A and B are shown apart, each in its own frame.
Chain A
Amino acid sequence: MIGIAWRILRRSPGTLFGAFIMITVGTALLAAFAIVQDSISRTTAPVERYAAADVVASGQAGVFTPEAVEEAGGLPGVAEAVPELSFPALVLGADGHPPADWEDTARFGHGWSSAGLTPFLLLEGRAPDASDEVVLDAESAAEAGAGVGDRVDVEVAGTVRGHRLVGVVEAEAGPTEYQRALFFTDRRAAELAARGGGRSDAIGLHLEPGADPGAVAAALDERLRSALAGDVDSPSGVPAYRVGSGAERGELEQALPDHRASAQAMAMLIWIVAFMAVAVIGGALITSVRSRAEQFALLRAVGATPGQVRLLCLAEAFLLSLAGVAAGALSGMLLGRLLLEGFRAIGVVSPVLRVHYGPGALLIAGVTALVVGQAAAWFAARAALRIRPAEVLAGQAAVPVTRGRRRVGRITGALLLAAAGILQALGMAGLVPAVLRGAYGMIASGLVIVGLGLLGSWAIHAAARAVRPLLSWAAPVAGHLAAANVGFHHRRYAGAAVPIAVGTAIAGWALAGLPLFALGNSQDVAERFAADQVLRTPIVRDAHTGLGEPVRERLEEAPGVSAAVGLRELWAHAAPPGSGGPGGSGAPEVTRGTVVTGRAGALLDLGEVTGDLASVGAGRGVALGAAYARQAGIGLHDEVEVRTAGASRPTVLPVVALFERDKGGGEGIVVASEALRDAPRGWYDYVLVGEEKEGRAAEAAAAVLSARGTASAEDPEEFLRAYVQERQGAIDNLGTLATAMVGGFLVIASVNALALSAADRRSELASIRRIGVTGRRLSRMVSWEMALTVVPAWLLGGLATAWMAAAMAGGDLGAALWAYPGAVLLGFGAAGLAAALLGALAATRSALRAADAR
C-alpha cells in the first residue's frame, strides 16, 4: 500500500496538492510557535545586580528573616551573607511624572549596604547618611536632570518624598541595561520597604575562595526551606523563593517580565493549531479522496480490504506530511523569528529574548505535524470507505447519507457545542474537577471544532435552501444555479467552509475570552469592595507596585473618613492544627487569601457573614469562606493553622467568622496582617476608603496622593472600568497576535479548499458552458457559490463565538455582548470571502481555459 501511495504521489501530485499546502502551512505555524516557546524558555535574564554575589536567594517581598540571613552566613564556605531589599522606587521628573519607560525598565530601591552585591561604585559624591538622602545610578540622575546636591522627588509605595541627591554610582561592569538603582540608608530602606521584623527580600552570599557555589546553593536552599514552615506555594507551583548561582542569578533579580505564562500560552496555541490542522488537513484530504472516488471504488472492487484502503490513506498522508514538514519547518523558522521580533516590538516579551533554533522545537513541530497528518488521514480514510464501489463503478452518483444519519450528526454537533460551553463556563467559575483544570480549555476547543464540523454541512445546506427563492429572483441564472449546486453538494462545500466556521469561532472565542477573563477577575476584586474610594497603583510585570502603610494611615486620620483598609492578596491555607500544610492528607487546597489592615469589616462586602468580622480586623481570629470551611471540615470557633506565602511558621487562630462570597472555596480566607506575626508584611494592593459624608473620601484621597506619582484613587465604578482595561492591557497582546496568525491559517485553508473544489469541476463547468451559459455568468455563479458557502460558515462561527462568550460570561449577556469581538470577526469574514472569491474565480478561469484547450 505504501508503494501504491508513493506512486500516486509521484505520478499525480496534483490531487494531493491542497493537502500538501495545508500541511506545510500548519507545520510552519507549529514550528514558529514551538520556536517561540523554546526561545522563551531558554532565555535567561542577564546577571546585573547580583554580579558580585556568588550565590543568591531571592523571592517574594520580605521572605527572609534576619535569623535566616544569619544562618546563611554560618554555612560552610560562606564568607559573608548580605541581606538585600529590592522594592519599586521611582525618581519623578520636575513635572511630577515618572520617567517615560518606567513600566518597561525596572527601578528598584535598595539599602546602601547591599550596593556591594553588584558592586555599584561611587562616581561622584558620597554614600547616603541621613534618611532624606539618596544615591542614584548615573542613568537615573541624568533622566531626572539632577546632580549631586540637588533635590529629587522619589515615589515609593504611593508616597512621594523629597530627597537630597548625595551621590551618583555606576555598576563596576558598566551601566546596567535592564534596571535602575536608588540607594537609601539601610534604615531608611527598611522603613520604606516595611517588610516587618527586619526581613529582607534577597540574600547575596560572598564565598570563601575555593568554595563550590553549587554546593553552597544547595545547602542554602535546604536551610531556607526549613525556615519556611508556614509557607504555601502557589497552585501553579511558584515557590516563595529560589536560590541560584552563576547564570541563574539573573532571573533572581526580578527585573524582567516572567515569560513562563507566555511560554504556556504558546504551548496552548500549539495544541489549538494542531487541532485545527487536523480539521483543515483532513478537509483537504477528504476533498482529494472524493475527487478520486472511482479510484477507491476500483481498488475495493478488485479486492482491497477496508484495512488496506485505510492504510493507503494513512500512507499517502504520511508521505505527504514528510514533504510538508520539510517545507513547513523552514518557513516556520522564518515565521518564528518574525513573531519574536513582533512580540518584542510591542513589548510582550522581555527585551533580552533572542530567537533560538533548537532541534527540540523543530522535532516537536515535525512530530506533531506527522501525528496531525495521520489523524487527518483517518478522517479521509473514513470518507474513502464510505464510497460504495458498486454505485460509483456503475456510473451512479454517490447517494448522500441517509436523513437519519444527518440528523444524528446535527444533534451530536449541537450537543458538543453545548458541552463545550458548559465546560467553559464551569472552568471560568473554577468549578471543574482538579484533573481537568489544566486541560478544560483544550477539551472545550476540541468539542467546538468537532461540533462545528458536524454542523457545518447542515448550515450550508439550510442556508442554500433558505435563500434559493430570493437568489433565483435576484440572479435568475447564476444565483439559481449556485443555490442548486451548493444545496446538492453541500457536503463538499462544507468540507471547504468548516475551517472558516472553526477559525471564526476559535478566534472569536480567544478574543472574547481575554476581556471576559479580565472582567471576571476585576469583578471578583470589585465585588468585595463596599468602599467609597479605591486607591491602587498600576500593574507592572503582573503585579501591583503597591501602596504603603503611610498612605492608609494618613487616610484613616483624614477628616470625614470612616475607615481606611489596606488589602493584600496572597496564597493561603487554613486547616485544623496538626493536619499539615497543603497536600497533607485530608487538608484542603490552597486558596486566595486576603490580608487586611484596618477595620476590614466596614469596607469589605463578603456576603452573608456569621460570626464577628470586626474581630478579624482586630487580629483576634480568621474569617473563612463558607464553602472553603465546609470542604475542609472546619466550623465556626474551631482553631485553625493558617499558612500564607512566605510565612516562617503557621499561625494558630480561631475561626471567628464565616462568609458567603468565597468563589466556591477559591477565595476562602480573610485575615489581618497583625495576626500573622511570623509572615512578611508587604505593600497593599488596594487601600479602601469609607466616608462619613458624601465626597469626603475622594477629598481625603486627593489630599493624600497629591497630583504626582503613579497611584490613583477612583470610586468603585470608575475603578472597575479602569481596572478591566488595565488587566486586559496586561494580558492581551500575545493573544491578539496569535489569533491573527491562526485566522490567517484559516483564510489560507478556506481559499485553498475552495479553489481546489473549483479546479475539480472542469467537466461540470464545461458542460454547463455547453448548454449556453456564458463565461461571465459562470464566474458569477461561482461567486454566488462562494458567498453561499463562506457566509453561512462564518455566521455559524460567529454564533458559536456568541455562545462561548455567553458561557464564559456566566450567562451575563451584557458582558458577553461587550466582549464580543464583532469588528474583528467582521474583518475575518470579509477577508475570508474576498480571498475565497479571488481564489475560486482564478481556479474557475483556469479550469475553463483547460477545458477549452481540449
Chain B
Amino acid sequence: MTGQEEPNEDGRAAAESGAAAELRNVSRTYGEGAAAVSALEEVTTGFRKGTFTAVMGPSGSGKTTLLQCLAGLVRPSSGAVSLGGVQIDGLPEKRLARVRRSRVGFVFQEFNLIPALTALENMLLPMRLAGRRPDREWVAEITGRTGIAHRLSHLPHELSGGQQQRVAICRALVTRPAVICADEPTGALDGSSGREVMALLREAVDVYRQTLVMVTHDPVAASYSDRVLFLVDGRIVETMGRPVPHTVAERMTALVEEVR
C-alpha cells in the first residue's frame, strides 16, 4: 500500500509546482438522459500547500461536488484529480478508501462523529482504520491547541456543537493529510462558536502548514481564507485573493443577481 501512494511522474510535477491537490478538467454529471444534471463542468484548479481556499457560490452551483471530487468521495465523470501527488480518479474503492484515510481530513457541517465513540476515539478513527499507532505528542499538541484536551473521554452527545466541530478538526489533523476538506463547517454553529472554529482552521494553515479547502456561504468565514473561488453552474467564474467580508458579500450578491 505504500507503493501506490508514492508520488508518480505527474505527482512529482505537481509537488514541484507546489500544489497539494489539483483538479484538471474535472466534470461531474448526476443522472442520465433527460434527467442528467451537470454539477461540475471542466473545472481546473490547484491548491498550493499551506494555503486556505474558500469555495463559494449559489446553492446548487456545485461546491459540495467539487469538494467531494477533490476528496475522493465522488468520482468525476471526466478529468483528473491528484492528491498529494497521487492521481486518485479511477482508483478502485478499496485503494480510494486508503487514500482518504491517509491524505484527506474531513470536517462536515453536521454529522461528524460516531455517537458511540468518545471524542478521542473519534479523533483517532482514521489511525485505527489504518492500523497505525497515533503519535502521542502530536495528539497532545492538537488537542491542546483546539482546547478539547479535557473533553476527550466524552461521548459526542455530551459535547456542544462547537466542541464537536473541534473534535472533527482534530480528527482531520491527526493524520497530517495532504488536504483538509471542510463543507460548511460553521453552518450549524452560532456566531461565536463559528468564529472560534474559523480561527482554529486558520491556525492549522498558519502553524502546521496544512492545506485547507472549505465550502461556505458565509462571507465572514470566507474572509479567513487566502483565496475565494466563486462557482456558478459548475464553473469557476472568479477567483478573489485576500478576501474581506464586505467585498466577498458584494461579489456574492452580484453573482446571485447574474444567475437570475
Contact = CB atoms under 8 A, between A and B. Distances in A.
B102 A303 contact: yes
Contacts of A471: none
B189 interface: no
B116 interface: yes
Contacts of B109: 395
A12 interface: yes
A300 B97 contact: yes
Given A393-B108, A394-B183, A295 B97 contact: no
Interface string A553-575: 00000000000000000000000
A301 B114 contact: no
Given A11-B155, A305-B94, A295 B64 contact: no
Contact of A7 (B108, B121, B126): B121
B101 interface: yes
A306 interface: yes
B129 A303 contact: yes
Contacts of B93: 305-306
Given A306-B93, A390-B73, A298 B68 contact: no
B207 to A, nearest CB: 23
Interface residue tally on A, bucketed by range: 20 to 34
Given A303-B98, A303-B126, A298 B112 contact: yes
B68 A302 contact: no
A292 to B, nearest CB: 9
A303 B83 CA distance: 15
A interface majority secondary structure = helix
B81 to A, nearest CB: 14
B129 A389 contact: no
A268 B116 CA distance: 41
Nearest to B111: A294
B111 A298 contact: yes
Contacts of A394: 64, 68, 183
A229 to B, nearest CB: 66
B106 interface: yes
A576 to B, nearest CB: 63
A304 interface: yes
Nearest to A309: B97
Interface string B44-65: 0000000000000000000010
B94 A301 contact: no
A304 B129 contact: yes
A302 B129 contact: yes
Contact of B100 (A297, A302, A306): A302
B202 interface: no
Given A7-B121, A294-B111, A302 B101 contact: yes
B116 A306 contact: no
B237 interface: no
Given A7-B121, A12-B115, A303 B101 contact: yes
Contacts of A295: 111, 114-115
Nearest to A394: B64
B167 to A, nearest CB: 12
B125 A302 contact: yes
B73 A389 contact: yes
B101 A390 contact: no
A11 B158 CA distance: 13
Contacts of B183: 393-394
Interface string B121-149: 10001101110000000000000000000
Interface string A1-42: 001100110111000000000000000000000000000000
Contacts of B130: 303
Contacts of A297: 111
B73 A302 contact: no
Contacts of B98: 303, 305
B85 to A, nearest CB: 18
Interface in A383-410: 389-390, 393-395
Contacts of A298: 108, 111-114
**B102, B125, B130 interface centre (most CB from chain A within 10 Å):** B125
Contacts of A390: 68, 73-74
Interface in B62-93: 64, 68, 71, 73-74, 93
Interface residues of B, number: 34
Contact of B116 (A11, A301, A304, A395): A11
B74 A305 contact: no
A3 B113 CA distance: 16
A389 B110 CA distance: 14
A401 to B, nearest CB: 14
A180 B104 CA distance: 85
Contacts of A12: 115-116
A300 B68 CA distance: 13
Nearest to A300: B97
Interface in A373-390: 389-390
Contact of B94 (A8, A306, A395): A306
B116 A8 contact: yes
A393 B106 CA distance: 11
B97 A306 contact: yes
B130 to A, nearest CB: 7
B189 to A, nearest CB: 16
B88 to A, nearest CB: 13
Choose among B97, B104, B129 the residue with the greatest number of A CB atoms under 10 Å from its CB.
Answer: B97
Contacts of B99: 303
A307 interface: yes
Contacts of A10: 116
Contacts of B117: 4, 7, 11
Contacts of A8: 114, 116
A304 B129 CA distance: 6
A422 interface: no
User: Looking at A294, A299, A304, A394, which has the most chain B CB atoms within 10 Å of its CB?
Assistant: A394
B27 to A, nearest CB: 16
B171 interface: yes
A442 B125 CA distance: 44
A308 interface: yes
A393 B181 CA distance: 13
Nearest to B99: A303
B106 to A, nearest CB: 5
A302 B111 contact: no
Contacts of A302: 100-101, 106, 125-126, 129, 171
Contacts of B111: 294-295, 297-298, 393
Contact of A299 (B68, B74, B114, B171): B114
A320 to B, nearest CB: 14
A389 to B, nearest CB: 6
Contacts of B71: 301
Contacts of A305: 93-94, 97-98, 129
A301 B171 contact: no
B173 to A, nearest CB: 13
Given A295-B114, A298-B111, A394-B68, A307 B73 contact: no
A297 B130 CA distance: 17
Contact of A301 (B64, B100, B110, B113): B100
Contacts of B116: 4, 7-8, 10-12
A12 B116 CA distance: 6
29 contacts: A4-B114, A8-B114, A11-B115, A11-B117, A11-B155, A295-B111, A295-B114, A298-B108, A298-B113, A298-B114, A299-B125, A301-B108, A302-B106, A302-B125, A302-B171, A303-B100, A303-B129, A305-B93, A305-B129, A306-B97, A308-B97, A308-B129, A390-B73, A390-B74, A393-B73, A394-B64, A394-B183, A395-B109, A395-B110
Given A7-B117, A393-B108, 19 more contacts: A3-B128, A4-B116, A7-B121, A12-B115, A295-B111, A298-B113, A302-B106, A302-B129, A303-B129, A303-B130, A304-B97, A305-B94, A305-B97, A306-B93, A306-B97, A307-B94, A308-B97, A393-B111, A395-B109
Shortest Cβ-Cβ A-B pairs, 7 listed: A303-B101, A11-B116, A305-B97, A294-B111, A8-B116, A390-B73, A303-B100
Interface of A: 3-4, 7-8, 10-12, 294-295, 297-308, 389-390, 393-395
